[in-house]
Structure 1
Amino acid sequence: MIAVWYSILLLVLLASAGSASTLYSTQADQVQAAEAINASPGLVALYGPILDVHSKGELAMTKMTVVYAVLVALMLLFVVRRHTRMDEENGQAELLGGTALRTTGPLAAALTFGAGVSVALGLLAAAGNIATGLPVAGSLAFGACWAGTGLVATGLTALACQISPSARTCAGIAVSAILGLFVVRAVGDTTEASWLSWLSPFGWNTHLRAFSETRWWVLLLYIASAAALAGAAWTLRLSRDLGGGLVAPRPGPATGSPRLADAIALSLRVHAPMLVGWTVGMAVLGLVFGAISPSFDAFDSPSIQQMLQRLGGAGAFRDTLLGAVVSVVALIVTCFAIAVVNHGGSDEQDGRTEQILATATSRTRAFVATAIVAIGGATWLLAVVGVGLAIGVGNDTGHSFARLVASPLSQAPAVWTVIALSLLCYALRSRWAILGWGLLVVFATLGQIGELLNLPDWTLQLSPFTHSPAMPLQPFELGPALALTGIAAAVLVGAWLRFRGRDIG
């Protein structure tokens, strides 16, 4: 998993750093692009400000400094949770505890491992920037900010994993905290309350000024915060029982509902809390980007206005950015579906699927239950984002409410295709369900940065997301959508046939 995360992060970094010289041939072009970003509150909220418009490094690393730092934080979330709360939940920590191992041994190992992963990523990021020709000092500072973000995420996740006995709940707490820090930074960067950005590690990434008059003392903020969070997690671990948490789980009813005798109803009930959380998050995401979208074309500089006219006007520029947001949303929503499929794989490995099949439930019903929640949930989330986007934009657009709602839904056939492939991996073998994450990484790389990497056109066409229209800028095309839907249906049938015929477990 670490290798996959490293690969995608470093590929994007190299593509971004290497393309800066191609996209901006003169310093005047670089300054113009930097001023265009700073002039748009929407872009500043998304990427953060460029403090030195004459710095090529700051412009090249605009997306990497904040947006991809969030991915760094999420990587450490998965790593730390895997070796703390998940090990407690599946009983491995208890087995280790039966040996000559201290109570805090697993936590100490997870913190050490997380810190090592963060530092190694920072060094690789610095080496990648240096290899593309960016200044050595600035590259080291940028690598340090990614490493610092990872250290803070390590401590934050370790603390979250002490709160609830449920690994899912702990992940939800950590994700909410990371997204909250991103929002705090965005508010601080786009309002007069600029001091708010100093409360977030994502804000520190910008204030470090890696490629211009570097503030090396900012690195102390990462270290102090990570140490404080890790110390709090350590203290809480000593005060709780193995497998327990600060918040005790609420006991369920003594007798389950008769509706839960159906595999589909049971699957919906199990995933309901996650689906509700994702629904709220996607609704907020759509509302926020819809609300800030009018600022995408609010530029005062005459030179920037001329540049926008060459691109097709400010409206086309805004639609382009909305299309980019929609494409990223499709990747995020696919993560929900793949998580559902992986949960089905975990249920089978832990013996729960065998218990269900010991009743009158057929294999077909069990497989369909996972497929319905994964595909139906992802489609629902795309619709939620669309409604939030349309409400957020309001009347300040030339597009109808229905078109804005349809923009994320136009990505549904591509999302269904990836989900079907993930279900096929699960159907081949339960442990192969995790390969769905690898497929998503490959398709995301091809779709998002394939052109920047100068990959052959036929490789770009392998990604289902490449065939989805960038609505609302581009019109919806029925042909590619039907083709992707047909591929998804065929793969699903193959997965179902395989699941019916193989051994469980």
Structure 2
Amino acid sequence: MTERLHGTWLLVRFELRRDRVLIGAWLGVLTLTVVASAAGTASLYSDTREQVAAAEAINASPAIVALYGPVLDVTSLGELAMTKMTVLYAAFVAFLGVVLVRRHTRVEEETGRAELVGATAVGPDAPVAAAVLEAGLACVAIGVLAAAADVASGLPVAGSVLFGASWTGIGLVGSAVALLAAQVSSSARAVGFLASAIIGAAYLLRAVGDTSVTWLSWLSPFGWGTQLSAWSSPRAWVLLLHPLLAGVLVAVALGLRRRRDLGAGLLPDRPGPATGSPRLRDAVTLAWRTQRTAVVGWTVGIGVMGVLMGSIIPSIGSMLDSDGARAVIEAMGGIGGVQDALLAAITSVVAVVITCFGIAIITRAAGDEHDGRSETVLATATSRDRLLLAVGALAILGTTWLLLVAGLATALGRGDGLAAVGASLVQAPATWLVLALGLVLLTLRSRWAIAGWGLLAVFVTLGQVGESLRLPDWVVGLSPYSHVPKYPVEAVTWRPELAMTALAGLALVAAWLRFRSRDIG
């Protein structure tokens, strides 16, 4: 047994070094989000009566409960403050496990690197063990950081520790789901889609359980986070369910792994047509063909998110039924002003999520270059200009399309005009600038494309929570997101929009000039 795991810790160290930017950015953004939520909620309510009224308003809205989960103890400040974190943001923790395990299992097999590693002095089970261990360490780290953030923000220590442990547990489940999916398909893209579908189904099952058939929540690992009731009358034994499920999924995955060949999946690959379409000779068409499933999946996901978010906005007045909140409402021009402010805030968060789609397209292009696929395409009559155009157009036009979908879906959920469409589209220049900088990183050196995630994390930190952290204005202003007009709260000012568009254009020109001259790979 020891021989089969020989070299595991060496591979763990190597993978941690490779993923230091990715993991650091993910942990940093999630931790700052916890700090902002914990610190901000306490300042909204002056006494327990107001907290109870807000919690009861959340429970009275099926849309909010479906998205965030219920507040089991309406008198608990910690549970009210961590409502979004317990379920919605737990999904991001689960996806962290998916990304790490998929990257170091199926992606390594698809590119042939797993076979090269296996030819060295490592045990046959070491690569899989290393991937699971790295994901586990990342999940433990985010759990510890979340607990520390809650304690530092003034929430009870016991509840903070239990909440952090629940995040660790859901991350372990996400990692195990990805490992199981990696045994089913030989395509890294299909593995990501399958794992995302399983996590989405678990989230939907929890939403149905929390809004109608209560016992269904116990069938979903996302429901366990709520049923834990970390902040009052905790059921600590619920924390055992996450590692138990993860252990079962890992055991099943390892059993399936022994039934397949390296590089293959349990499901046979479908043979493609004997002759490819002549349209695939064009790089832009080829890029669309390889990414259309992702575009469709993102479109559906963003549409559902927009409808849910939009349906929450009309009920915001009942959630802010406190003396302090009423003063804020009056200062903002009544309930309508508060709803507009919430709309602006929601669209800014959704814009960040959509930017992740474009960054993923760019990092995918870097992977194609590392694995030799870009060189193969350039060996045909395809020019470098056309290849870069394919990547840039798909990233930028794809995010613009998703912003439009988000706006229309939010307007549909809100049922009140098309202000949501304008609020979503004003985010476009900021996303264009971030993606243009990501393309610059790609063209400077393909391996630098992964730093686009770190760049996004920095911009989100500065733009979304920079003011809450009381950073200097010039530091906050480094983020493109900080210059987006807060429409419809305020009128659209075109100067920053045009300036960011112009900067994005200059960055694209710089990327084009660099890509024409550097070596491929």
What is the RMSD of the two structures over their aligned residues, measured on CA atoms? 2.4
Listed as ranges, the matches of 1:179-190 within 5 Å are: 179-189=200-210
1:465 aligns with 2:481: yes
Contact 2:50 2:322 in 1 (8 A): no
1:486 aligns with 502
Give the letter aligned to residue 179 of structure 1: G
Contact 1:80 1:158 in 2 (8 A): yes
Displacement of 1:37 after TM fit?
3.2
Displacement of 1:216 after TM fit?
0.6
Distance change (3 Å), C-alpha of 1:292 and 1:126? closer
1:192 aligns with 2:203: no
1:140 aligns with 2:156: no
1:54 aligns with 75
Distance change (3 Å), C-alpha of 1:499 and 1:304? same
Displacement of 1:20 after TM fit?
4.2
1:503 aligns with 519
Displacement of 1:13 after TM fit?
2.1
Give the letter aligned to residue 7 of structure 1: G
Report the TM-score, using the length of structure 2 for normalisation.
0.89
1:235 aligns with 2:255: yes
Q: Take 2:100 and 2:466, find their aligned partners in 1: how far apart are those partners?
A: 27
1:380 aligns with 401
1:63 aligns with 2:84: yes
Displacement of 1:436 after TM fit?
1.0
Q: Choose the corresponding residue for 2:339, options 307, 318, 323.
A: 318
Q: Take 2:75 and 2:150, find their aligned partners in 1: how far apart are those partners?
A: 18
Q: Choose the corresponding residue for 1:425, options 441, 462, 475.
A: 441
Q: Take 1:472 and 1:199, find their aligned partners in 2: how far apart are those partners?
A: 41
* Further displaced range: 373-382 or 345-354: 345-354
Distance change (3 Å), C-alpha of 1:92 and 1:499? same
Task: For residues 121-167 of structure 1, give each alpha carbon's deviation from its aligned partner in whole angstroms, at most 9, with x where no partner exists.
Answer: 22232233333333222121111111111111111111111121111
2:106 aligns with 85
Give the letter aligned to residue 174 of structure 1: A
1:270 aligns with 290
1:441 aligns with 457
Displacement of 1:295 after TM fit?
4.0
Displacement of 1:472 after TM fit?
4.1
Displacement of 1:32 after TM fit?
4.2
1:128 aligns with 149
Q: Take 1:199 and 1:304, find their aligned partners in 2: how far apart are those partners?
A: 39
Give the letter aligned to residue 72 of structure 1: V
Give the letter aligned to residue 126 of structure 1: A
Listed as ranges, the matches of 1:93-242 within 5 Å are: 93-99=114-120, 101=122, 103-189=124-210, 191-242=211-262
What percentage of aligned pairs have identical amino acids?
A: 52
| Structure 2 portions without partners, runs of 5+ | 1-21
Q: Take 1:358 and 1:318, find their aligned partners in 2: how far apart are those partners?
A: 55
Displacement of 1:59 after TM fit?
2.6
Displacement of 1:169 after TM fit?
1.1
Partner SS state of residue 232, structure 1:
helix
1:389 aligns with 2:410: yes
| Structure 1 portions without partners, runs of 5+ | none
1:336 aligns with 2:357: yes
Displacement of 1:309 after TM fit?
4.6
Displacement of 1:236 after TM fit?
1.4
Q: Take 1:21 and 1:437, find their aligned partners in 2: how far apart are those partners?
A: 31
* Further displaced range: 29-38 or 480-489: 29-38
Give the letter aligned to residue 275 of structure 2: T
Task: For residues 281-311 of structure 1, give each alpha carbon's deviation from its aligned partner in whole angstroms, at most 9, with x where no partner exists.
Answer: 2233333334454444566979799568535
Task: For residues 323-378 of structure 1, give each alpha carbon's deviation from its aligned partner in whole angstroms, at most 9, with x where no partner exists.
Answer: 22211221121111111111211122222222222233222222111111111111
Partner SS state of residue 162, structure 1:
helix
Task: For residues 357-405 of structure 1, give each alpha carbon's deviation from its aligned partner in whole angstroms, at most 9, with x where no partner exists.
Answer: 2233222222111111111111111122223233334xx32x2x4x333
Q: Choose the corresponding residue for 2:279, options 236, 259, 276.
A: 259
Distance change (3 Å), C-alpha of 1:188 and 1:108? same
Displacement of 1:460 after TM fit?
1.8
Displacement of 1:430 after TM fit?
0.8
Contact 2:55 2:319 in 1 (8 A): no
Report the TM-score, using the length of structure 1 for normalisation.
0.91
Contact 2:55 2:71 in 1 (8 A): yes
Partner SS state of residue 66, structure 1:
helix
Distance change (3 Å), C-alpha of 1:480 and 1:153? same
* Further displaced range: 65-74 or 105-114: 105-114
Task: For residues 247-300 of structure 1, give each alpha carbon's deviation from its aligned partner in whole angstroms, at most 9, with x where no partner exists.
Answer: 222121222222222222222222222222222222333333344544445669
Give the letter aligned to residue 460 of structure 2: A
1:452 aligns with 468
Give the letter aligned to residue 227 of structure 1: G
Contact 1:165 1:244 in 2 (8 A): yes
Contact 2:284 2:387 in 1 (8 A): yes
Partner SS state of residue 161, structure 1:
helix
Give the letter aligned to residue 70 of structure 1: A
Q: Take 2:49 and 2:333, find their aligned partners in 1: how far apart are those partners?
A: 21
Contact 2:45 2:322 in 1 (8 A): no
Displacement of 1:408 after TM fit?
1.6
Q: Choose the corresponding residue for 1:411, options 427, 430, 438.
A: 427
